Amino acid sequence: MFMPAVTSVRRYFPGRRLGWLEDLPSGVVRDWAGARSDYSRTIGECGPSIMQRMATLTFPILAVNPADDPYATPAVARRTFSYVPHARIREWRVKPEELEVDEIGHFALFDERFAGTFWPVVERWLREPNRPTREFR
């Protein structure tokens, strides 16, 4: 309720100023608020057909969720995985200490400070997605 209320006044969500994520466009906040527990509601009128196609996917997926991410909780991850029930999913709940940092958070894995720790792991997985999980870390 807070994010949509602030966004309606400011016309965007001032996340950086509030210490929450990044600044977000009003459309993103509206989509997130409207989605609740059903991601298909954020896709638009093609949502049902997109979700049907997603349910047929069988390719390997490496799902990386920082253990200290307040948004991508294990319950959210399970719900997301349910949209691709036939995909081969490997989940990595990466802990900050695995990457030699105090915290990771929601968006930080894209930060250049992880170029020497996290990024090479993902690159190895992209090159060899069938390799056992414990071997690619």
Where does the pLDDT of residue 73 fall: very low under 50, low under 70, confident under 90, or very high at 90 and above? confident
The rounded distance, in Å, linking the Cα atoms of 124 and 121 is 5
Q: Report pLDDT for 134.
A: 53
pLDDT tens for each residue of 26-72: 888 887 776 666 777 777 788 889 999 999 999 999 999 999 998 88
Q: Report pLDDT for 36.
A: 62
What's the structural domain count of the chain? Answer: 2
Residue numbers of the domain that contains 26: 1-35
The DSSP letter of residue 18 is H
Q: Report pLDDT for 132.
A: 63
- Put residue 95 in one of left, alpha, beta given phi > 0 → left and psi -120 to 50 → alpha: beta
65 and 99 in a single domain? The answer is yes
pLDDT greater at residue 107 or residue 91: 91
pLDDT tens for each residue of 98-136: 999 999 988 789 889 999 999 999 999 999 988 765 554
Average pLDDT over residues 77-97: 93
122 and 61 in a single domain? The answer is yes
128 and 67 in a single domain? The answer is yes
62 and 31 in a single domain? The answer is no
Q: Would residue 40 count as lying in a domain?
A: no
Q: Would residue 112 count as lying in a domain?
A: yes
57 and 81 in a single domain? The answer is yes
Q: Would residue 16 count as lying in a domain?
A: yes
The torsion angle over the Cα atoms of residues 14, 16, 21 and 25, rounded to 10 degrees, is 30
